[in-house]
Structure 1
Amino acid sequence: MGAQEQTYRHLKCDEHRPKCSRCEKRELECIRGVNIRFRHELNPRNLQADILDVPADVPPQVPPQIYIENPQWPLRDLEQAKLMRHYIDNIAPFLDLCDLKRHFALVVPHRAASCPPLLNAIFAASARHLSRVAGAEAWIADNYHSECLTSLIPLLNDSAALKDENLLAAMIILRQHEEFESPHSGTGAQSHLLGTHIFMGAQERSAVSGGLRRAAFWVGLRMELFFAFLNSRSIHPSLELCNVDRSLDPADDCKWANRMVAHCAEALRYCFGDGEHSVGKYMDLVQYCSDWMAYKPPSFTPIYYKVPADDELFPEIWMNGQVAGTGMLHYRLTKILLTAHSPKIPRLGPGQRAALHEADEEIKNDVLTICGIAQSNECPPYFVKACMAITLAGDKFTVRREQEALLRVMQRGSELAWPTMTTVRDLKKAWGWQEESLD
């Protein structure tokens, strides 16, 4: 039995010393974690049940502290070093999408050397990604994931810890781990990582100061949009977005893209939230989209555009960098939302069918544009947005050739580690494909 499997099974340690009962029974070396404590011991039973679920196989124990005195750098374990490299090369680019300083690739790994929860979050997300793209053992990710949660759960009652930007980054990376697990379907259930909202809510107002905290906040908001879209819900009420610059003043590309990310969140609130649903509010949201597009920086204009030929479905759109592409994709996703929830569509009468048809055609055009951006730029995060768009509105495509093209985009998303099987099956059923075509 390898050392990694011993460590994994040791999660059920009963804390008997010098050797726990499980290890003694199996004649294994009893390998324990570092015997260190929190700066503040807390009672995790005070947590709200709907925020974070403690894994059933993790026993009550003295959790590790947030930081250690001797940084674990350089890493001495080859497998952990490979996980770190995979994180830097393949996961950090998802997180640094609108961050020219690349905090998650350049800052987070070194912070993790002295912050065990952050280090375990990196290992968990990296191992989960490898399990999907390279067939690595899933239990490795589960091991690091459980270790990280064991550290973070008690901290949700610690006001000082909630303002620690490294722990916010750890929660964000764990949320990335969840994205690799969750099916691309609005019916998919989220798991226990809603504790991210607590960390984001505690640090939102100070995120304007910049650095890793601001970078993590924007990544967290994009992830929140991901789950809100796929589950047809509003963003979490703990996110105020009160300090977000949503003006149309000239700004750098990152700020301009983030303005549309924040506007997308406001559109989700309008469509699925409990707030104002007036026609005036709707028109304000639509007008902001139009103004954002009209005043966008020149760098947001594609450097190449080609209308699809007769035998093609998607336009070819070359974007000038990932930041511009991210902004334009969120613009299109927001348009899909607002078009689908337009209060101007008659509920009854002779004009309803024509209005619904016009709305469907506009939505389909936005879906095709999103897929065109994804296919033309080969930026993996773009395919996530394409899968989101297809999940939302793929059922509106009635021609078999179009449906097959959308499935090829979903297949590309699956190759990049995004679970799409549930959505693909749901779409095929919605399209009326025969049973033998569902798999």
Structure 2
Amino acid sequence: MKLTTAIAALAPAACHALVGNNWSFENSPDGGLKDITFPMLLTNAPHETQFYFAQQFNFGGTGAMGYTGLQPNPDADGKAKIRGVFSSFTAGTTTTDPNCHDGADGGPGVSCGVIMNGNYSDKIIMVVEHKSGTTWQGTAVDTVTGGSIHVGSWTLPAGTTGILSTQMGFVEDYKGSDGAGCSAMPKTEVSFFNPTTTTAGAGAGVVQKPYEYGDCTGKAGFVVTELEGRPKQLGYLVATCRDRKIKCDGSLPVCLKCQKSQKACCRPGQQLKYVMHSADPTLQQLVIKAEELRDEVTQQNQNKDNWDVLEAKSTVTNNSEIALQNPVVAALFQHYIDFLAPWYDLNDSQNLFTTLVPARALATPILFKALIAFSACHKAGTSSTYDGIGAIYHASCVRDLLAALGDASGELQGDYLAATCLLRSFEILSRGTRHQQHLLGAYAFATSGPIDLSVRGYPQAGTWNYLREEITVALECRRPVRISSPFEFVPTWDMPDDMWANAISHILAKIVNFFFEEETGVGTLAMSTALGTLAKDVASWRAHLPKSFRPFSMAPKLGNPFPSIWMVQRCHIAGAQYCALAEILLALSRQHLSMSASDTMATEDDEACIRDKALEVCGLAYTNDNVAARVNAFGPLAFCGRYLTEESHRSGLIDMLLDFNIPTRWPVQPIIQDLQEHWQSIENP
């Protein structure tokens, strides 16, 4: 949506209530809003305890009320400080959160607050989201670094429902200028932006023009600058909505329709395509247009004193030659080449992530920082020497990448794609596949033109890596893959082996989407036809597959509880796993559509297929000692493991995941927990 910014410049005065600004959403969904975010910017606010910049909100059911906002604080330890606040002014509110205490402004309720390191030039969003029951949580998120701070949580009285769709915000002089009156009030400044929510049916949020109220009205030198007006109905501004023939609200960076459907939000004439990775409101609001951050990024790069790990500060530079004079950084660069790069060359016989990416990184600061960030993140699992270095390089890389994405063209396009793939891996290893905050909760896929995926090359290697990463996360999180028109691919039967593996990746992505997406208004016949087309794609791929994809042996491997399937190349392992997984999803889809409900034999065939192919996926992973193929197998194993029925196979999979964690540092515990909970639910329905 377009942003309405109100800047309140307050000259001397002395009271509490100073400025109000009403906010609202277009509609009031049943049950209220399940989340809401309030963006704020304090660029020119003094670093002193004086003012509270806040937004308040009411809840349905009980009339409960809460506040959230920011309070500037004095700098300390050479760092800027901001206090995040999240409060309930409702009697009967309870909390066990260590950031919170009973009482609010001398009355009933609960007050939560946390002092955080913050750059006043960064836009900060205060996120209020429903957790469970009547419990709500407040979070502060820096939209430049992507870092988030838990402010607090509390539980409202029984009967409380969601947040109402309208209320107001305010600016408050909570110190009362120490009783000196309106004339003694120091000048300050704040920008309020439109609130947002992911709640279906709420529509666009708008913050109205601020106004003075209270004893200092007309005495405080109050000034308002409105940067942009109310959002307008933009019809088919988004190409995705136009193609689907649905009305679009034109919200930025992702329209509400694309948020709900989690599709790529593509706009005519724009190079930047935003693809959501989560419906979590905290993550959605971190997707910021690169153009809006250019000035802020420049300021951030001029002030590196905000970074937490001072010992690695001197190594962060746009000059790779200087950075590599540091022996720790040099070791990380070598670690990427020797151990991590092959992960990305899984289906690339040219090995571009091993050969070209390091060479390009020496000349491209964004790519160099992404490479060091990922390498440090991986090494941090074995040595405390690297603690914090990855986070610092990651923060610097993200800032640079946001500022440069709109200019991606030519060879830089490949650099930025490669950098984003490395950052995505950093994100997974540091937080897990279920946390997508480190890359701003979204993958901003920038293209200066269509990428021809029928050939091999630098941008193509990055694109195929992105797709495999998406498949892995989609399978672990059980959600669709985010693919759009740039990923169209038509295979030819004379392709080299690595392109055959890429071809089944593309087919699998479409099958994953068919399985996890719920298409409303589509009849069973149409769904059956679409499923049949996908099944033909897999059958055609298998029928034309080169003989080199056949296992060279089925001899049992010592200790393998699964079928032993020995393959020649790593791309053969990946291709065979993806094909087996595709057949599992097709069989499950047939069952879900009840296509064979009256055919007992067909149903039994599908069940046998699911069982046998799940064992095949596990067997391929266990048999072949290839780290790149095993990294790629985590998603398939997380999904297929749910369909193992024998205890020996289940325990074998758990042991295998734990073994794979040692060299890869992949976060396997969430996978194991999910599998064990699923198996238990089957045994004890």
Provide the rounded CA distance (Å) in 2 between the counterparts of 1:400 and 1:315.
Answer: 15
The one-character-per-residue Cα deviations of 1:255-280 (angstroms, maximum 9, x if unpaired) are 11111111111112222336675212
Cα distance in 1 for partners of 2:490, 2:533 equals 16
Structure-2 residue corresponding to 1:250: 494
Indicate the residue corresponding to 1:223 in structure 2. 469
Alignment correspondent of 2:481: 235
Q: Distance in 2 between matches of 1:222 and 1:105?
A: 17
Q: CA deviation at 1:64?
A: 6.1
Conservation of the 8 A alpha-carbon contact between 2:347 and 2:501: yes
2:507 is the alignment partner of 1:263? yes
Residue matched to 1:399:
646
Normalising by structure 2, we get a TM-score of 0.51
Q: Secondary structure at the match of 2:436?
A: coil
SS in structure 2 at match of 1:198: strand
- Structure 1 position 50 matched with structure 2 position 290: no
1:30-109 superposed matches below 5 A: 50=284, 52=286, 61-62=298-299, 72=321, 75-109=324-358
- Any unmatched runs of 5+ in structure 1? 1-15, 26-42, 434-439
Which one-letter code corresponds to 2:299 in the other structure? V
Do residues 138 (structure 1) and 387 (structure 2) align? yes
SS at match of 2:376: helix
Contact persistence 1:304–1:317 (CA under 8 A): yes
User: Following TM superposition, by how much is the alpha carbon of 1:79 offset from its aligned partner in structure 2, in angstroms?
Assistant: 0.4
Amino acid at match of 1:286: A
Match of 2:373 among 124, 128, 147: 124
Q: Greater Rg, structure 1 or structure 2? A: 2
106 and 312 in structure 1: CA distance in 2 versus 1, 3 angstrom threshold: closer
Q: Distance in 1 between matches of 2:669 and 2:563?
A: 25
Aligned mate of 1:424, from 672, 675, 681: 672
Cα distance in 2 for partners of 1:200, 1:338 equals: 32
CA distance in 2, matches of 1:200, 1:256: 26
1:333 aligns with 2:590: no
The AA in structure 1 aligned to 2:478 is S
* Matched position secondary structure for 1:316: coil
Give the whole-Å Cα distance in 2 for the aligned partners of 1:107 and 1:137: 25
**Per-residue CA distance 1:18-42 (angstroms, 9 max, x = gap):** xxx76769xxxxxxxxxxxxxxxxx
Q: 2:624 aligns with which of 372, 377, 393?
A: 377
- Whether the aligned pair in 1 keeps the contact of 2:323 and 2:329 (CA below 8 Å) is no
How many Å separate the matches in 2 of 1:401 and 1:300?
28
Structure 1 contact 47–156 (Cα < 8 Å) conserved: no
Aligned pair in 2 of structure 1 residues 287, 24: CA closer, same or farther (>3 Å)? closer
CA deviations on 1:354-401 (whole Å, 9 max, x unpaired) are 766543432222121122112211111332344323321323333322
**Do the aligned residues in 2 keep the contact of 1:318 with 1:376 (CA within 8 Å)?**
yes
Tell me the SS of whatever aligns to 1:341: helix
**Counterpart amino acid of residue 259 in structure 1:** A
TM-score by length of 1: 0.76
AA partner of residue 340 (structure 1): L
Offset of residue 231 of structure 1: 2.1
Q: Distance in 2 between matches of 1:193 and 1:394?
A: 28
SS in 2 for 1:378: coil
Structure 2: how far apart are the matches of 1:22 and 1:60? Answer: 23
Superposition pairs of residues 238-387 of structure 1, within 5 angstroms: 238-242=484-488, 244-247=489-492, 249-273=493-517, 278-306=527-555, 313-342=561-590, 346=594, 358-387=605-634
**Percentage identity across paired residues of the two chains:** 25
Secondary structure (helix, strand or coil) at the match of 1:93 reads helix
Which residue is 1:112 aligned to? Answer: 361
Match of 1:166 among 415, 426, 439: 415
Deviations 1:380-438 (A, max 9, x none): 133234432332132333332221111111112221211111121222233339xxxxx
Are residues 390 and 113 of structure 1, via their aligned partners in 2, closer, same or farther at CA, if it must alter by over 3 Å?
A: closer
Structure 2 match to 1:409: 656
Inter-partner Cα distance in structure 2 for 1:422 and 1:344: 26
Structure 2: distance between partners of 1:74 and 1:154: 22
Partners of 1:179 and 1:239 lie apart in 2 by 25
More helix, by proportion? 1
Q: What is the deviation of 1:129?
A: 0.9
Distance 1:164 1:348 in 2: 47
**Which one has the bigger strand percentage?**
2
